[in-house]
């Protein structure tokens, strides 16, 4: 059955990742608008355990690939995906833009000569042709892309943009796809390194005071720790402060940090790189303070102040006295 | 008696057999040879320094003469330490005269008398000689006692040899060896002087010459010995003569090997020092352009700097004035020099001179990066050592090897990329002018009388922009013809150079020089003393045409004097004024800003550390781009506290954009906002002209 | 060991900018260029690995697909310690997308035959995160993406790396050479290149090639493009953030109000 939308779901350490459901919803929309079938696929050592979680209306079929190991191996996913594409010949393949997919998605697209776009924020069919939107020039512009002459296009979709598909009780047919792995020993898993246990779990906090590069020096951090305490907030940070070694990774909000959903997210001195926004854009109330009026954080914030974070911190401290 | 009265002389080698006399001469010659060897050998080592050269020979006579004047007047030693000044003056003249006295006697005994038959060591000459020696001998003893009391009783902080660049317990931390060496030195001199008097006293007790008044010291001793029998006196005289003599010639022989060596190197350092050190740093010599810049090993040093390592007398004046040391940072200029000196002492031959001096066992990175390049150390040093320029050279090497703080690294990359330290687009440099009610001329396109080189902070920092705008309004009001370079202006490079990035400094300087050469103007005006310093003193090194460069305080003073700014007597605030390092200490401009304050009618209260002794705000040397170590006091906070100690004050007045930033912050962090506020001098002038600043903007 | 580092000179825009004639790019006057931050880290990783392994015949080569503006970035890499640089460009590459760039880099890699290829995870302007992986796919190289740590094994035939997962979790992997890694920020502190080093770097070899010299024809290349740009437009502001203005005191007061409403 050529033409069809194939959604590649993701699981890690026994848990289905939320982006999979977002992809299903997008896939559903696109499949309906173009009159295509929608299929989901998953690669895992025990893929059948996720079928129930993937059940959503309109799903034609679930394809399962049995991976040789419990943990992610890029070459396995690459070969599995390539095999499924060659076998099933979908016209559109959707993956999440995730740390795992960064290891294989583009490789499949390059090798098979597919249409390709990453970090996609919007997609639609117009007169049977696929158009997607993504950021350009560091998110300062929106680019619209087309895929002329491509039988199959692979998109990696930004997580947290689309609403998740509702899971119903439907039981789509399941088919196991056999995989013959070449190069069985591309990489060898040696274990996981857990993030250093910290007394704080920022994902549980209701109110986060988050600071970024604007804080400038490590020595300025303690005063924001105190401010957070006085506000009744937990302190979290963006990536640059962890890279510099000033704060532990446990406090990092972002794509490769923690994803948080507090009631209030007060961001000070954070510019709002895409990877950071991915980790906090779902907060109930986002207030951003940044001296740069063009900072991307203002695009997701509910309230914004173009001001110096230290002056605002001073003023907050004065009010709390 | 009459016979004795007429014989005004004394035996020289009393009681010595010819054999002993010969022995004495042999020992004396040995001592001189040992002295000469010790005095000359270091110079062979200094010549291993390839990083520069001595001043040209034709300058030497003038330099030596000027240094001699400084030495004889003791100006640099007396400065800011009266007790040490007096003590050293007494010791110095005492020693010189006593030493000269021995030489005069030696010439008479061994030269004029045997060769020419002429003997001057008698009569009134002899009496005068005796008087002088007694007086100065007493002076010597007094001076030594003063120094000993200072060390043991007064215990000034500058003589605490504990070093901030080592932790307690680390090797070399407390420098016990130095203290013992110092005491040994002082005590040996004291013993020599005292035994001299006792020897004289014994002679007087034995021979009773009648002119006691001229040798009062000895005379006093003689009274104490009045009951002693002649044989005992004779034995004492023999013993003492040899003791005093041997001790004296040993002392002379040891001069180059002990603290006393400073007599040689310190004087030469004073004579050969670079008068523009600090304000004009040395460019990389052309022959070394392909090698890593700066000082990595002793062989990279200039010979003068190697000499200066030996010139240090451990007086501690630099240690005391250094703002880094005063705020608990791991830097004391004294200890950098002493550490390097120890390297030089240990360095045996070429390998020693090629070994790196930077490192955990040597001069540490945290030490050289704590420096603010304020040059208080160079200013304070009585023997002309160039501590800050040496640190700058060490930084040049550290930068080559990538050993610099990440924040600093990013700032340098930002300056390279955008031409300013704020990372702003060059086209935004002139943004501050858009709020003015008039156009500011573009000096690139039109001839102007005054080309205003604004500077990074004055152009981009919001608080300093207010000052810049105020100055522009004042100039406009006074009808001054001025223009700016807009986006063609780049960071002047002064602080980039002080950080040690010579290559980037050259790039910036060359760019600015080229821009300036395409403009027509009479004078250059700068807001920032840092720009002033480098444009005036360092740009000529790169081919800039010599042109007058003035600071905005000079210009404001001109306008006030000529009446173009009618501001006399309008304000009556109580203020204190902080001398910026680059305007004051480095370029000698102290009085003009004070005249302005006076002209405005304000009451100026001086902080204890003012003018050339001003205390750096902590921004210099690139430190404004480096985070401060947590938990330490900032130099700017220290300075604000100094100001607050003066009593009720309205304003802390500054004349530099970086001071504006540093002190506004310090006033906040010391919680002093209720007690004092900051004003830049321009803002006071503006207020005097039109009342409160807002009025001008209406 | 020969290490190939693929770098990109990225565009950063002025606050105010205008689009160029065709509406598909920004007017160069408003564009500033700098070396991609991730690639600085990749280069630093390469330099450190070379220092650690320290065998003779080690070479670090940097390659880029870019116009002349990219030479500044290459010079910086040479100044920091890379041995050689290669820049591939001609007009036909002006609209190259990530797959075309990967194909060109693959041709460079085949020519260089490195033991290890390092790329940054993503570029700060396009944020594809795909070039390195696509390149690995084309070269059929073992690869690990988003690497935070690299330790060479003593014999230098394999590397132990740590891959960054969400939530600060890291996965340790062993990968045999030849391989490709995409490097994450924070892996090492990139070293400083003095101006003097940059000047001296001009003496180092910098090859300028057209795709033809690598055996690639323009038609072939454009045929492999993953996507075609059809429009470029400013983002919809949407409701955007509601602005809190005034003095810092007013802003702070408003913030406290909003916070108290929400969390009490």
Distance from CA of C230 to the nearest CA of B (A): 30
Sheet holding A264-268, edge to edge: A234-237, A207-211, A264-268, A285-289, A303-305, C242-243
**Cβ <8 Å between A219 and B407:** no
pLDDT band at A13 (very low <50, low <70, confident <90, very high): confident
A305 reaches C (C-beta below 8 A): yes
**Cβ <8 Å between B630 and A216:** no
**Cβ <8 Å between B507 and C195:** yes
Query: B402, B505, B542: best mutation site toward chain C, by most C Cβ within 10 Å?
Result: B402
Place of tokens 């007597």: B569
Q: What is the structure's pLDDT at A198? A: 66
Residue A17 has pLDDT above 80, yes or no: yes
Tens digit of each residue's pLDDT (9 = 90 or more) over A128-146: 899 999 988 887 889 999 9
**What domains are there in chain A, each with its CATH number?**
5-177 (3.40.50.620), 202-320 (3.40.50.1220)
Residue B3 has pLDDT above 60, yes or no: no
Can you say how many angstroms the Cα of residue A221 is from the centroid of all Cα atoms in its chain?
Answer: 28
Residue B570 has pLDDT above 50, yes or no: yes
Chain C partners (3+ C-beta pairs within 8 A)? A, B
Residue B54 has pLDDT above 70, yes or no: yes
Calculated CA dihedral for residues A44, A48, A49, A53, nearest 10 degrees: 100
Residue B692 has pLDDT above 70, yes or no: no
**Cβ <8 Å between B627 and A217:** yes
How many CA atoms, within 13 angstroms, populate the side-chain half-sphere of residue B371?
Answer: 35
Give per-residue burial for C225-248: e unless 16+ CB within 10 Å, then b: bbbbbeebeebeeeeebeebeeeb
Count of residues making up chain B: 698
Of A274-278, B653-657, C201-205, the one with minimum mean pLDDT is A274-278
Chain B residues lying within 8 Å of A219, measured CB to CB: 627-630
Q: What is the structure's pLDDT at B678? A: 95
pLDDT over 70 for what percent of chain B?
Answer: 97
pLDDT band at B357 (very low <50, low <70, confident <90, very high): very high
Could you tell me the CA-to-CA distances from A123 to A41, A120, A126, B393, C180 in Å, in that order? 20, 7, 10, 59, 31
CB A76 within 8 A of CB A184: no
Chain B residues lying within 8 Å of C14, measured CB to CB: 425, 427
Report the alpha-carbon distance of residue B220 to residue B237 in Å, rounded. 16
Residue C156 has pLDDT above 90, yes or no: no
Report the alpha-carbon distance of residue C195 to residue B416 in Å, rounded. 9
**Cβ <8 Å between B407 and A217:** yes
Q: Which SS3 state, helix, strand or coil, does residue C50 take?
A: helix
Q: What is the structure's pLDDT at A124? A: 92
Orientation of helix B230-254 relative to helix B176-207, angle to 10°: 140
Chain A, nearest residue to B406 by Cα: A244
A:58-77 residues touching chain C, CB 8 A cutoff = 71-72, 74-75
Distance from CA of C196 to the nearest CA of B (A): 5
**Cβ <8 Å between A219 and B668:** no
Nearest to B331 by CA among B381, B360, B371: B371
C192 reaches B (C-beta below 8 A): yes
CB-nearest to B627 from A218, A222, A314 is: A218
Residue B504 has pLDDT above 70, yes or no: yes
CB-nearest to B417 from C34, C192, C195 is: C34
Q: What is the structure's pLDDT at B455? A: 95
Q: How many CB pairs under 8 A join A and B?
A: 14
- Range C107-132 average pLDDT: 93
Q: What is the structure's pLDDT at A183? A: 64
Q: What is the structure's pLDDT at A184? A: 58
SS3 content of chain A, % helix, strand, coil (to 5): 30, 30, 40
Report the alpha-carbon distance of residue A22 to residue A163 in Å, rounded. 6
C195 reaches B (C-beta below 8 A): yes
Of A43-57, B89-103, B134-148, C80-94, the one with minimum mean pLDDT is A43-57
pTM of this prediction? Answer: 0.87
Chain B residues lying within 8 Å of A221, measured CB to CB: none
CB B592 within 8 A of CB B557: yes
Residue B2 has pLDDT above 50, yes or no: no
pLDDT band at B696 (very low <50, low <70, confident <90, very high): very low
pLDDT band at B210 (very low <50, low <70, confident <90, very high): low
Report the alpha-carbon distance of residue A30 to residue A3 in Å, rounded. 12
**Cβ <8 Å between C127 and A75:** no
Orientation of helix B502-517 relative to helix B406-418, angle to 10°: 30
Q: Looking at mean pLDDT, say which of A154-163, B326-335, B345-354 comes out highest.
A: B326-335
**Cβ <8 Å between C244 and A303:** yes
Q: What is the structure's pLDDT at B374? A: 96
pLDDT band at A258 (very low <50, low <70, confident <90, very high): confident
Selected from 3.40.50.620, 3.60.20.10, 2.60.40.420, 3.40.50.670, the CATH number assigned to the domain covering C2-263 reads: 3.40.50.620
Distance from CA of C205 to the nearest CA of A (A): 30
Nearest to B212 by CA among B8, B3, B2: B8
Question: C146: which DSSP letter?
Answer: E
Interface of B with C (CB under 8 A): 290, 292-293, 399-400, 402, 404, 406, 409, 412-413, 416-418, 425, 427, 501-504, 506-507
Chain B, nearest residue to C29 by Cα: B427
Give CATH 1.10.1060 domain extents, chain B: 275-403
**Cβ <8 Å between C137 and A108:** yes
CB-nearest to B404 from C34, C192, C200 is: C192
A:97-156 residues touching chain B, CB 8 A cutoff = none
CB-nearest to B627 from A219, A222, A314 is: A219
- Range A38-43 average pLDDT: 92
Chain A partners (3+ C-beta pairs within 8 A)? B, C
Could you tell me the CA-to-CA distances from C194 to B16, B623, C162 in Å, in that order? 71, 19, 31
**Cβ <8 Å between B293 and C196:** yes
- Range B38-56 average pLDDT: 89
Tens digit of each residue's pLDDT (9 = 90 or more) over A69-79: 888 888 889 99
Give per-residue burial for B399-428: e unless 16+ CB within 10 Å, then b: bbbbebbebbbebbbbbbebbbbbebbeeb
Q: What is the structure's pLDDT at A196? A: 65
Chain B, nearest residue to C12 by Cα: B425
pLDDT over 70 for what percent of chain A?
Answer: 97
**Cβ <8 Å between C169 and A192:** yes
Report the alpha-carbon distance of residue B658 to residue B524 in Å, rounded. 20
B:654-673 residues touching chain A, CB 8 A cutoff = 668
Contacts of C43 (CB under 8 A, 6+ apart): C5, C7, C60, C62, C77, C80, C82, C118, C190
**Cβ <8 Å between C234 and A141:** yes
B423 reaches A (C-beta below 8 A): no
Distance from CA of A217 to the nearest CA of B (A): 6
Alpha helix ranges (H) inside chain A = 18-34, 51-54, 74-88, 105-112, 221-231, 239-243, 274-280, 309-320
CB C116 within 8 A of CB C181: yes
**Cβ <8 Å between B627 and A314:** no
- Range B385-405 average pLDDT: 95
Q: What is the structure's pLDDT at A254? A: 86
Report the alpha-carbon distance of residue B281 to residue B290 in Å, rounded. 19
pLDDT band at C184 (very low <50, low <70, confident <90, very high): very high
Q: Which SS3 state, helix, strand or coil, does residue B131 take?
A: helix
Tens digit of each residue's pLDDT (9 = 90 or more) over B407-440: 899 899 999 999 999 888 898 899 999 999 999 9
Q: Looking at mean pLDDT, say which of A177-181, B677-681, C186-190 comes out highest.
A: B677-681
Q: What value does the mean pLDDT of chain A take?
A: 87
Element (H, E) at C34: strand C31-35
Report the alpha-carbon distance of residue B368 to residue A311 in Å, rounded. 32
CB B358 within 8 A of CB B368: yes
| Domain extents in chain C | 2-263
pLDDT band at B8 (very low <50, low <70, confident <90, very high): low
Q: What value does the mean pLDDT of chain B take?
A: 90
B629 reaches A (C-beta below 8 A): yes
SS3 content of chain C, % helix, strand, coil (to 5): 35, 30, 35
C:10-29 residues touching chain B, CB 8 A cutoff = 14-15
Contacts of C209 (CB under 8 A, 6+ apart): C86, C87, C88, C89
Nearest to C121 by CA among A242, A270, A118, B417: A118
- Range C74-90 average pLDDT: 95
Residue A60 has pLDDT above 80, yes or no: yes
A244 reaches B (C-beta below 8 A): yes
Residue B4 has pLDDT above 80, yes or no: no
Chain A residues lying within 8 Å of B628, measured CB to CB: 217, 219
CA angle C55, C56, C61 (to 5 degrees): 90
Distance from CA of B406 to the nearest CA of A (A): 9
pLDDT over 70 for what percent of chain C?
Answer: 96
Tens digit of each residue's pLDDT (9 = 90 or more) over A95-120: 999 889 999 999 999 999 999 999 99
Orientation of helix A105-112 relative to helix C98-112, angle to 10°: 80
Chain B residues lying within 8 Å of C194, measured CB to CB: 293, 399-400, 501, 503-504
Selected from 2.60.40, 1.10.3470, 3.30.70, 1.10.1060, the CATH number assigned to the domain covering B275-403 reads: 1.10.1060
Q: What is the structure's pLDDT at B477? A: 94
Q: What is the structure's pLDDT at B459? A: 95
Query: A155, A187, A233: best mutation site toward chain C, by most C Cβ within 10 Å?
Result: A187
């Amino acid at each position: 059955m050529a033409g069809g939308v194939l959604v590649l779901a993701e699981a890690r350490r026994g848990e289905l990742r939320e982006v999979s459901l977002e992809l299903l919803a997008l896939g559903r929309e696109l499949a309906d608008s173009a009159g295509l079938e929608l299929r989901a696929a998953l690669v895992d050592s025990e893929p059948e355990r996720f079928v129930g979680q993937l059940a959503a209306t309109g799903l034609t079929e679930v394809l399962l690939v049995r991976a040789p190991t419990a943990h992610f191996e890029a070459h396995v996913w690459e070969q599995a995906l390539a095999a499924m594409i060659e076998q099933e010949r979908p016209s559109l393949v959707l993956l999440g833009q995730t740390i795992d997919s960064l290891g294989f998605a583009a490789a499949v697209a390059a090798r098979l000569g597919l249409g390709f776009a990453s970090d996609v924020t919007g997609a639609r069919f117009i007169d049977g042709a696929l158009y997607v939107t993504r950021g350009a020039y560091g998110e300062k512009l929106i680019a619209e892309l087309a895929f002329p002459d491509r039988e199959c296009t692979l998109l990696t979709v930004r997580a947290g943009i689309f609403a998740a598909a509702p899971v119903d009780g439907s039981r789509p047919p399941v088919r196991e796809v056999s995989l013959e792995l070449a190069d069985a020993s591309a990489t060898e898993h040696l274990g996981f390194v857990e993030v250093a246990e910290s007394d704080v779990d920022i994902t549980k906090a209701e109110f986060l005071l988050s600071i970024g590069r604007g804080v400038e020096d490590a020595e300025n951090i303690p005063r924001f720790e105190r401010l957070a305490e006085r506000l009744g907030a937990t302190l979290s940070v963006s990536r640059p402060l962890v890279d510099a070694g000033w704060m532990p990774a446990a406090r990092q909000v972002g794509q490769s940090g923690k994803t948080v959903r507090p009631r209030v997210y007060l961001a000070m001195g954070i510019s709002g790189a895409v990877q950071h926004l991915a980790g906090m854009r779902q907060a109930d109330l986002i207030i951003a303070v940044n001296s740069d009026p063009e900072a991307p954080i203002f695009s997701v914030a509910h309230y914004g102040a173009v001001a110096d974070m230290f002056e605002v911190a001073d003023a907050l401290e004065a009010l709390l006295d | 008696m009459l016979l004795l009265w007429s014989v005004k002389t004394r035996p020289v080698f009393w009681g010595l057999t010819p054999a002993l006399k010969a022995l004495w001469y042999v020992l004396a010659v040995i001592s001189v040879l040992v002295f000469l060897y010790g005095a000359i050998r270091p110079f062979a080592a200094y010549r291993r320094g390839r990083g520069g050269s001595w001043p040209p020979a034709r300058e030497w006579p003038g330099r030596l003469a000027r240094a001699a004047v400084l030495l004889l007047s003791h100006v640099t030693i007396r400065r800011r330490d009266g007790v040490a000044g007096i003590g050293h003056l007494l010791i110095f003249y005492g020693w010189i005269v006593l030493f000269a006295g021995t030489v005069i006697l030696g010439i008479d005994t061994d030269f004029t008398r045997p060769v020419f038959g002429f003997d001057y060591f008698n009569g009134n000459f002899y009496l005068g000689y005796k008087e002088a020696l007694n007086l100065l001998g007493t002076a010597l003893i007094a001076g030594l006692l003063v120094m000993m009391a200072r060390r043991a009783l007064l215990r000034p902080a500058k003589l605490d040899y504990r070093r901030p660049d080592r932790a307690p317990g680390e090797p070399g931390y407390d420098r016990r060896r130095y203290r013992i060496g110092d005491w040994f030195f002082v005590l040996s001199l004291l013993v020599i002087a005292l035994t001299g008097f006792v020897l004289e006293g014994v002679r007087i007790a034995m021979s009773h010459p009648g002119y006691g008044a001229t040798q009062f010291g000895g005379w006093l001793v003689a009274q104490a010995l009045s009951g002693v029998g002649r044989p005992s006196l004779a034995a004492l005289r023999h013993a003492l003569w040899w003791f005093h003599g041997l001790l004296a010639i040993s002392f002379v022989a040891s001069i180059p090997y002990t603290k006393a060596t400073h007599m040689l190197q310190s004087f030469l350092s004073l004579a050969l020092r670079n008068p523009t050190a600090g304000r004009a740093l040395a460019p990389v010599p052309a022959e070394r352009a392909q090698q890593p810049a700066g000082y990595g090993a002793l062989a990279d040093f200039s010979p003068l700097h190697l000499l200066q390592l030996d010139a240090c007398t451990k007086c501690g004046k630099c240690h005391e004035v250094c703002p880094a040391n005063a705020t608990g940072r791991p830097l004391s200029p004294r200890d950098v020099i002493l550490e390097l000196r120890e390297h030089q002492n240990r360095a045996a031959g070429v390998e020693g001179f090629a070994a790196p001096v930077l490192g955990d066992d040597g001069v540490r990175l945290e030490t050289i990066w704590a420096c603010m390049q304020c040059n208080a150390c160079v200013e304070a040093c009585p023997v002309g050592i160039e501590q800050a320029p040496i640190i700058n050279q060490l930084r040049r090497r550290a930068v080559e090897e990538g050993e610099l703080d990440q924040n600093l690294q990013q700032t340098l990359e930002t300056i390279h990329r955008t031409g300013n330290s704020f990372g702003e687009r060059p086209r935004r440099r002139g943004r501050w002018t858009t709020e003015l009610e008039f156009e500011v001329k573009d000096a690139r396109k039109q001839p102007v009388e005054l080309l205003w080189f604004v500077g990074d902070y004055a152009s981009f920092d919001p608080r300093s922009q207010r000052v810049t705008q105020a100055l522009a309004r004042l100039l406009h009001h006074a009808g001054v013809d001025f223009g700016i370079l807009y986006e063609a202006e780049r960071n002047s490079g002064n602080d980039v150079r002080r950080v040690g990035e010579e290559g980037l400094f050259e790039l910036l300087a060359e760019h600015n020089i080229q821009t300036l050469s395409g403009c027509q103007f009479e004078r250059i005006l700068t807001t920032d003393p840092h720009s002033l310093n480098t444009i005036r003193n360092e740009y000529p090194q790169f081919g800039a045409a010599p042109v007058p460069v003035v600071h905005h305080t000079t210009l404001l003073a001109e306008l006030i004097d000529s009446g173009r700014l009618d501001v006399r007597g309008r304000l009556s605030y109580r203020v204190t004024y902080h001398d910026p390092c680059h305007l004051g200490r480095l370029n000698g401009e102290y009085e003009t800003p004070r005249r302005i304050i006076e002209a405005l009618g304000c009451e100026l209260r001086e902080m204890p550390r003012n003018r050339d002794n001003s205390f750096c705000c902590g921004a210099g040397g690139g430190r404004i781009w480096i985070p401060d170590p947590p938990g330490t006091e900032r130099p700017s906070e220290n300075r604000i506290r100094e100001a607050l100690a003066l009593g009720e004050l309205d304003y802390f007045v500054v004349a530099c954009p970086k001071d504006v930033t540093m002190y506004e912050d310090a006033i906040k962090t010391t919680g002093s906002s209720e007690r004092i506020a900051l004003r830049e001098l321009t803002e006071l002038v503006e207020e005097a002209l039109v009342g409160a600043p807002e009025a001008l903007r209406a | 060991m020969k290490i190939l580092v693929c770098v990109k000179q990225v565009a950063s825009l002025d606050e105010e900018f205008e689009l160029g004639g065709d509406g598909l790019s920004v007017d160069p006057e408003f564009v500033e260029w700098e070396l991609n931050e991730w690639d600085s880290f990749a280069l630093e990783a390469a330099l450190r690995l070379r220092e650690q392994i320290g065998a003779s015949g080690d070479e670090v080569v940097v390659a880029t697909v870019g116009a002349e503006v990219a030479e500044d970035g290459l010079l910086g890499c040479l100044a920091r310690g890379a041995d050689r640089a290669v820049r591939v460009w001609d007009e036909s590459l002006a609209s190259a997308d990530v797959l075309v760039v990967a194909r060109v880099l693959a041709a460079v890699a085949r020519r260089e035959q490195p033991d290890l290829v390092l790329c940054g995870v993503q570029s700060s302007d396009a944020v594809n995160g795909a070039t390195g992986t696509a390149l690995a796919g084309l070269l059929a190289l073992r690869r690990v993406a988003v690497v935070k740590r690299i330790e060479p094994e003593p014999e230098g035939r394999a590397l132990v790396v740590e891959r960054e997962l969400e939530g600060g979790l890291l996965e340790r992997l062993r990968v045999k050479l030849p391989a490709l890694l995409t490097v994450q920020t924070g892996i090492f502190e990139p070293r400083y290149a003095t101006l003097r080093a940059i000047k001296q770097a001009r003496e180092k070899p910098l090859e300028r090639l057209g795709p033809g010299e690598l055996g690639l024809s323009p038609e072939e290349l454009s045929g492999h493009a993953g996507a075609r740009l059809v429009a470029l437009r400013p983002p919809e502001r949407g409701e955007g953030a509601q602005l809190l203005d005034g003095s810092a005191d007013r802003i702070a007061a408003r913030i406290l109000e909003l916070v108290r409403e929400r969390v009490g």
